[in-house]
Amino acid sequence: MSDDESAVHRERLKSALWYTIGKAVDNVGVELDVNATPQFIGALTEMVFSQVELVAKDLESFANHAGRTTVSTDDVLLLTRRNQALGEIIKEKVEEEARKRGDKEKPVKKKK
């Protein structure tokens, strides 16, 4: 992918994120009877996009460190190591999906 294509792709992703965040903010705004400015939605979009980029880089690094080219659930669980509540939610989802598929994969390890 060329730099131009990459920039266009990045802007399309950011636009889709802006739209989705705008809809979510509108829904919450209706519930709470408050309004959000376009500047707020733009700033929130930039913050979320930056966080997603960091998460993606971390996941890629974890997979590369393990000698893999594909991100696995183990990488995602490693990413949640500083957020125990999030880690537990993701572990439950992984286990639930494994049960649905009838997977014989190794179970998610519980923290001691």
> In this structure, which topology does domain 3-99 adopt according to CATH?
Histone, subunit A (1.10.20)
CA distance 8 to 28: 30
CB atoms within 10 A of CB 74: 16
CA distance 56 to 51: 9
Which pLDDT tens digit goes with each residue over 40-86?
Answer: 999 999 999 999 999 999 999 999 999 999 999 999 999 999 999 99
Instruction: Give the residue extent of every domain in the chain.
Output: 3-99
The residue written with tokens 């519930």 in the block is 31
CA distance 70 to 57: 13
CA distance 94 to 108: 8
Task: Give the per-residue pLDDT at 108.
Answer: 55
